[in-house]
Structure 1
Amino acid sequence: MLYYALVFFIVAIVAGVLGFGGIAGASAGIAQILFFLFLVFLVISLVMGVIRKA
């Protein structure tokens, strides 16, 4: 998931440099959503790991 967030971020940067504002904005939004989902799943995974060890 983090890989796809980085891919969409790079697409947003390239599209922004080339002047495609709509595509850049959409790609940046998707990258942001994927990154926050990754963070949520990371925290859930860490909490579940601590609970299992206890």
Structure 2
Amino acid sequence: MLGWSVTFFVIAIIAGVFGFTGIAAATAEIAKILFFIFLVLFVLSLIFGGLRKPRV
């Protein structure tokens, strides 16, 4: 998920450099959404991953 976010961010930067502002804005928004989804899932895995009982 984080890899996709970085990929879309790089595409947004490249599109912005070449003047494609619409594409740059769209890909930056996608990158931002993916990053926040990653953060939420990461925090949830930290919280609920530590609650599991270890296997014996």
* Shorter-normalised TM range: over 0.9
Match of 2:23 in 1: 23
Q: Which runs of 5+ in 1 are unaligned?
A: none
- Structure 1 vs Structure 2 CA RMSD: 0.8
User: Which portions of structure 1, spanning 4 or more consecutive aligned residues, are displaced by more than 2 angstroms?
Assistant: none
| Bigger radius of gyration | 2
Q: Which runs of 5+ in 2 are unaligned?
A: none
Tell me the TM-score normalised to structure 2 length: 0.90
**As a proportion of its length, which structure holds more helix?**
1
Number of corresponding residues: 53
Measured in 2, the distance between the counterparts of 1:41 and 1:16 equals 29
